[in-house]
Amino acid sequence: MTKIKICGITVLKDALAAIDADADLLGFNFYPKSPRYLTPQACREITAIVRKDFPQITLVGVFVNAPVSEIRSILETAQLHLAQLHGDETPEMLAELQPHAFKAIRLQSDARTDFEADKQIPDAIRFFVSESAHASVPALLVDAAVKGMYGGSGTVADWSAAAQLARRIPLLLAGGLTPENVSEALEQVQPWGVDVASGVETSPGVKDPAKMRRFVEAVRKIQ
């Protein structure tokens, strides 16, 4: 069954609404420049309740170019299961955080990348795949490439290139997904899971319970 991650949670009310909508993973953003940023202490107030009452939910911290030591500290403080490395982190940083991390890459909407030929798969992606083999963790997240932004832009990623990767690895698809287009994305890409933030919000960091329900329903309809 396709996993559903609702990202950019900032308050308990939205976390509980996402769980009620049947999300599998919740994402919390620790990038200070993000409109969805929250402190590790504020996150812990949310995750303490979620871990107690909904232990089946996977809790993910989103980081952008943070040192490994800081990531480890926040994972512990905020009681998170996984780190999503959404910046320009090196394969070596990912290796240090295994098995509790996965990498995001950003693809242009017109990337036209042929991932079917091994020689055209970047060395870094091959590393991410080999180091992220646990069934409950995606090998890679694919997001849209938007200059000056590390996710949350609402721009659609290159589904064609993502589909080629999804045939090889457990891929988490992000980038401009909404209740209206997620079914099409699933049919084309067939990913391990889907990740949504802006597509289920009324404003950055403020989730819309009705949109979250519609998003999950659209995913579940084609399981």
pLDDT of residue 55: 97
| Per-residue model confidence (pLDDT) at position 131 | 57
Q: What length is written for the chain?
A: 223
* Arithmetic mean of pLDDT over the chain: 87
pTM recorded for the entire structure: 0.89
Task: Produce one character per residue of 159-189: b if its CB has 16 or more CB atoms within 10 Å, e if not.
Answer: bbbbbbbbebbbbbbbbbbbbeebeebbeeb
Q: If phi over 0 gives left and psi between -120 and 50 gives alpha, with beta otherwise, what is residue 111?
A: alpha
d(CA 17, CA 170): 26
* Alpha helices per DSSP H over 66-147: 68-77, 91-97, 123-131
99 band by pLDDT with thresholds 50, 70 and 90: confident
What is the reported pLDDT for 144? 75
Tokens of 5: 């991650």
Distance CA 161, CA 185 (A): 12
180 has pLDDT over 70: yes
Domain count, the chain: 1
* CATH code (residue 80): 3.20.20.70
Task: Determine the 3-state secondary structure of 27 from DSSP.
Answer: strand
Per-residue model confidence as pLDDT tens digits over 45-98: 999 999 999 999 999 999 999 999 999 999 999 999 999 999 989 888 988 998
Would you say the C-alpha torsion 68, 135, 12, 173 has a positive or negative sign? Answer: positive
Look up the domain containing 17 and give its range: 3-220
What are the pLDDT digits (tens) for 129-155? 555 555 678 888 998 755 444 445 556
If we measure between CA atoms, which residue out of 10, 1, 5, 2 comes closest to residue 203?
10
Classify burial at 103, counting beta carbons within 10 Å of its beta carbon; exposed 0-12, middle 13-18, buried 19 or more.
buried
Minimal CA–CA distance to 187: which of 199, 173, 169, 200? 173
